[in-house]
């Protein structure tokens, strides 16, 4: 495992497919408050709080494998840090579907990404139930930990024990089965108080987005963490596939990908719902700029502007440029919607056959309705984030998971720190036998004094740590690696007594 400047174009990766695919397995045990000792380095004494992670933890039942890992049941991991020590707890989310399938010993629900119940198309036809698998994200809101899956309500968990409290409709704010995004954004306090901003989408020929804002901390005026403080609905023409969005102080920024949805194969039991999505060749997407209620454009109508061709799952960040009046959005673009066909085994996927994600900056001019763009990073990348204090602001640094080589599509094996102003890159690599998932940047609560001659704001922005789970193909188990966010040097490696499949999203809580 190394840290170095970015390698020259043409560098070839060195990994074995069996190392990568060995991560696809079931989590076999649930642990409670197990101490973790670093096998290299030391845990920073200043690191205090909890890293929560979510992802598919059950990929097989009764000898049948899911068709896509995104259909796996949600499993939460909590890594608690204090005083240079770490402890691990993990639990499956006790959803209705998980309980039913645990009892049956087989799949009894279809998966959105193509997993079928036993019995072929006839057994799956006209079964349009959605299994809420609670496997995509996990965030703390007030005294509840929420396991998120964007097609339905969240599940509430105990933040300490991870025991499932049950399906949550947020004290009646959500209707039964109402969509609640698995990708909220945390406003650090652009309007005086921190907020969790999120959305739900009802897709169809006309799609409706519900934009919600919750207090994420108790306020002096009696507003409690978890209280809804803003709520609005907006309808747009066309089918909307929205996994993520971005925020600025004034706007919620959505990108409506140019996709079509043909439900017939899903209804007939031939495909999962997500497999019925297809890009519209030659068509570009559309940006939706929805005014936030606390912002300068509160009460105005949403703005619709053209987006570059391509498909976007995730955004890095957005901000408002005071010099030009533009809204700047950084997103990870794919040439096309990456999907796995009904006859393809995801463990044998040909990476060269699917497009890679690349980081692109779009500058949106609301006054003229024009959009211009440039590439920020053409290395295959995903799961990018900025310092949480810079959410919605002009951040200088980004941290993201990247492929080992600089061009072409490969498994993610490294973490890159990218200077968004200069283009300078630092890369920590887990290759050849390590494979990374989403990094989480944890800011230092009390910044060290900057070095002589360094700008204070730069020193503060990248002062902290990057926490990243790594699949270790050499021992067929998971490591948790702690990096120095500034220079990407390795601070500690914790070998977990647990094998966790590749996860999706996670969050840091300084209070849990």
> Which residues make up each annotated binding site?
183, 243, 314, 505
Instruction: Please name the residues in contact with 81: beta carbons below 8 A apart, sequence gap of 6 or more.
Output: 43, 47, 48, 49, 50, 51
**Strands across the sheet containing 144-148:** 137-141, 144-148, 155-157, 164-167
E-assigned strands of 264-380? Answer: 277-279, 286-291, 303-306, 311-320, 327-334, 358-365, 370-377
| DSSP bridge pairs for 254 | 288
Q: Is the peptide bond before 125 cis (omega within 30 degrees of 0)?
A: no
Residue among 106, 84, 61 at smallest CA distance from 491? 84
Q: Are 486 and 419 in contact (CB under 8 A)?
A: no
- Give the SS3 label for residue 507: strand
Q: Are 337 and 278 in contact (CB under 8 A)?
A: yes
* Residue (of 400, 307, 421, 410) closest to 354 by Cα position: 410
- DSSP H helical segments within 244-397, as ranges? 264-267
Closest CA to 67 of 353, 348, 345: 345
Instruction: Tell whether the torsion through CA atoms of 366, 370, 376 and 381 is positive or negative.
Output: positive
Q: Pick out the residues of the known binding site for Fe cation.
A: 183, 243, 314, 505
CA gap 392, 250 in Å, rounded = 9
């Amino acid at each position: 495992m190394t840290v170095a400047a970015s390698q020259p174009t043409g560098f070839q990766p060195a990994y074995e497919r069996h190392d990568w695919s060995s991560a696809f397995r079931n989590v076999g045990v649930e642990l409670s408050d197990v101490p973790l000792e670093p096998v290299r380095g030391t845990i920073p004494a200043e690191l205090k709080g909890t890293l929560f992670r979510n992802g598919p933890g059950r990929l097989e039942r009764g000898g049948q494998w899911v068709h896509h890992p995104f259909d796996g049941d949600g499993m939460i991991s909590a890594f608690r840090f204090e005083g240079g020590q770490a402890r691990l707890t993990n639990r499956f989310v006790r959803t209705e579907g998980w309980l039913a399938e645990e009892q049956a010993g087989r799949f009894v629900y279809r998966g959105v990404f193509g997993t079928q119940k036993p019995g072929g198309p006839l057994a799956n036809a006209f079964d349009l139930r959605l299994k809420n698998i609670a496997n995509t994200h996990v965030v703390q809101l007030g005294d509840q930990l929420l396991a998120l899956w964007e097609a339905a309500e969240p599940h509430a968990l105990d933040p300490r024990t991870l025991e499932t409290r049950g399906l949550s409709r947020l004290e009646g704010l959500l209707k039964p089965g109402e969509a609640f995004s698995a990708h909220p954004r945390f406003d650090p306090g652009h309007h005086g108080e921190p907020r969790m901003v999120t959305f739900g989408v009802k897709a169809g020929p006309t799609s409706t987005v519900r934009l919600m804002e919750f207090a994420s901390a108790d306020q002096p005026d009696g507003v409690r963490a978890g209280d809804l403080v803003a709520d609005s609905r907006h309808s747009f023409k066309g089918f909307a596939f929205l996994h993520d969005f971005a925020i600025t102080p004034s706007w919620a920024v959505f990108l409506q990908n140019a996709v079509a949805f043909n439900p017939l194969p899903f209804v007939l039991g031939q495909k999962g719902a997500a497999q019925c999505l297809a890009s519209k060749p030659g068509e570009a997407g559309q940006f939706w700029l929805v005014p936030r209620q606390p912002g300068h454009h509160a009460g105005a109508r949403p703005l619709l502007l053209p987006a570059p061709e391509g498909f976007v799952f995730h955004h890095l960040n957005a901000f408002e440029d005071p010099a030009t009046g533009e809204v700047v959005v950084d997103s990870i673009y794919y040439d096309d919607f990456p999907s796995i066909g009904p006859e393809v085994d995801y463990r044998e996927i040909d990476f060269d056959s699917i497009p890679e994600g690349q980081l692109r900056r779009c500058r949106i001019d609301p006054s003229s309705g024009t959009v211009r763009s440039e590439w920020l990073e053409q290395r295959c990348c995903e799961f990018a984030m900025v310092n949480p204090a810079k959410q919605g602001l002009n951040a200088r640094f980004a941290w993201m998971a990247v492929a080992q080589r600089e061009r072409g599509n490969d498994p993610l094996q490294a973490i890159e720190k990218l200077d968004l102003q200069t283009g300078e890159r630092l890369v920590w690599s887990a290759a050849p036998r390590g494979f990374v998932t989403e990094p989480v940047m944890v800011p230092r609560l009390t910044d060290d004094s900057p070095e002589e001659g360094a700008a204070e704001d730069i020193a503060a922005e990248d002062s902290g740590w990057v926490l990243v789970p790594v699949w270790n193909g050499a021992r067929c188990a998971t490591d948790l690696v702690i990096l120095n966010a500034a220079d990407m040097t390795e601070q500690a490696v914790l070998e977990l007594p647990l094998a966790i499949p590749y996860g999706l999203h996670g969050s840091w809580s300084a209070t849990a």
